[in-house]
């Protein structure tokens, strides 16, 4: 099959630029090729690994004796209905290209998700979010291929069980079973953008933008991301390595006694979100190196592969050290946001 390649390094398939070799890589453009690739793996008795943009995963250093399947079909369609527009995007489109297209059509709902690396197909897996928007806010449904049962299935919003950087697709019992082929979002036509995130509000104020258009917002988000995040095409990384921990209000009140400036965000009556980036910086890890890995000096939440020589093992060791130090100092447990993938 022409769309199947052999011995492809995961280093070339992930933004962390880490990982062993994949025995086969199938880049499928449509449902027929997808079925053919799954049959190919089943006939050979090989396991399947589903890959999107490779921007939120850390792949282990050992080789994968199986078939990596990547859906690269990249069509988009728009259907208008009562002032709202249903947008269907195939899994293989670059997420930011999808946002750009929607903003250009003056469709509101995902403009704050500008600049997030990865593909449309991967966006529901961790319910991507930034600057006050999350995928789930506009999500309607998705189509996926059930590899176990060999059929296409539909998931609506409830089926996906979205929460902060989570969905059903991250659950161990479901992981690897479904390959998402397209998603449907409901966006609003000619609607005013709502700016919820403090740092975005401040940024727009400083630029004297009072009535931001969707493209103003997109530009602002891209600029802010540029200041705070590490461009994976320059230095290997997978964005925020940890989630922002959610703790009881009593924990923050106690911490405030020693750290009066600790930033936090109230979620409801007794739960607050504290910021992993702040905790890691104040545990002394910002800008530090560990073997071939490092913690970005721009943003303590980002673990990097500065010279492209880091191994998954080193990244995991660093993550354990950081979590241990944060726990020792603040009594708060960090949980990775990046998915660690091993094959045995």
Which residues are catalytic, by number?
165, 240, 337
In the complex with ligand EPU, the residue whose CB is nearer, 189 or 273, is: 273
In the complex with ligand EPU, the residue whose CB is nearer, 55 or 141, is: 55
Looking at 156, 199, 202, 256, which residue binds ligand EPU (CB under 6 A)?
199
Closest CB 55 distance from ligand EPU, rounded Å: 8
End-to-end CA distance of the chain: give it in Å, rounded.
27
In the complex with ligand EPU, the residue whose CB is nearer, 127 or 143, is: 127
In the complex with ligand EPU, the residue whose CB is nearer, 123 or 299, is: 299
Q: Indicate whether 239 belongs to the interface with ligand EPU (CB under 6 A).
A: yes
Task: Give Cβ neighbours of residue 316 (< 8 Å, ≥ 6 apart).
Answer: 58, 340
C-alpha distances in angstroms, 211 versus 93, 114, 205? Answer: 30, 19, 10
Q: Nearest-5° angle of CA 287, CA 245, CA 13? A: 60
User: CA-CA distance, 126 to 181, in Å (whole number)?
Assistant: 16
Q: Indicate whether 228 belongs to the interface with ligand EPU (CB under 6 A).
A: yes
Closest CB 269 distance from ligand EPU, rounded Å: 21
Looking at 123, 240, 304, 305, which residue binds ligand EPU (CB under 6 A)?
240
Interacting residues with ligand EPU between 72 and 131 (CB under 6 A): 130-131
* H or E stretch at 13: none
* Cβ atoms of residues 136 and 116 within 8 Å: no
Residue 71 pairs with which residues in a beta bridge?
28
User: CA-CA distance, 203 to 213, in Å (whole number)?
Assistant: 14
Among 144-152, 249-257, 296-304, 326-334, the segment contacting ligand EPU (CB under 6 A): 296-304
Closest CB 291 distance from ligand EPU, rounded Å: 21
Closest CB 244 distance from ligand EPU, rounded Å: 5
Grouping H, G, I as helix, E, B as strand and the rest as coil, residue 188 is strand
- Chain centroid to Cα 322, Å, comes to 21
Positions touching ligand EPU (CB under 6 A) are: 130-131, 199, 228-229, 239-240, 243-244, 263, 275, 277-278, 281, 286, 299-301, 337
């Amino acid at each position: 099959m022409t769309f199947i390649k052999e011995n492809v390094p995961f280093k070339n398939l992930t933004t962390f630029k880490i990982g062993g070799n994949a025995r086969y890589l199938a880049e499928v453009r449509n449902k027929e090729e997808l079925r053919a690739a799954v049959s190919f793996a089943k006939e050979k008795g090989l396991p399947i690994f589903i890959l999107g943009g490779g921007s939120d995963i850390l792949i282990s250093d050992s080789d994968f004796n199986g078939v990596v399947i990547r859906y690269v079909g990249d069509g988009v369609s728009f259907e208008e209905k009562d002032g709202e527009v249903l947008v269907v995007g195939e899994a293989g489109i670059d997420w930011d290209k999808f946002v750009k297209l929607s903003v250009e059509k003056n469709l509101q709902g995902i403009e704050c998700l500008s600049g997030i690396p990865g593909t449309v197909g991967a966006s529901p897996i961790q319910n991507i979010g930034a600057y006050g928007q999350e995928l789930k806010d506009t999500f309607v449904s998705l189509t996926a291929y059930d590899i176990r049962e060999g059929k296409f299935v539909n998931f609506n919003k409830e089926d996906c069980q979205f929460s902060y950087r989570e969905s059903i697709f991250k659950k161990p019992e479901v992981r690897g079973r479904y390959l998402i082929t397209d998603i449907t979002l409901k966006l609003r036509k000619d609607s005013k953008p709502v700016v919820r995130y403090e740092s975005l509000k401040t940024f727009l104020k400083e630029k004297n933008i009072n009535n931001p258009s969707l493209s103003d917002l997109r530009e602002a988000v891209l600029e802010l991301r540029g200041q705070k995040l590490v461009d994976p095409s320059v230095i290997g990384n997978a964005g925020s390595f940890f989630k922002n921990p959610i703790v009881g209000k009593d924990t923050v009140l106690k911490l405030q006694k020693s750290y009066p400036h600790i930033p936090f965000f109230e979620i409801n009556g007794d739960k607050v979100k504290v910021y992993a980036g702040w905790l890691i910086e104040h545990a002394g890890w910002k800008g530090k190196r560990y073997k071939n890995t490092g913690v970005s000096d721009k943003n303590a939440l980002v673990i990097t592969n500065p010279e492209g020589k880091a191994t998954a093992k080193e990244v995991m060791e660093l993550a354990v050290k950081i979590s241990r130090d944060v726990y020792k100092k603040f009594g708060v447990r960090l949980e990775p946001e990046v998915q660690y993938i091993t094959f045995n």
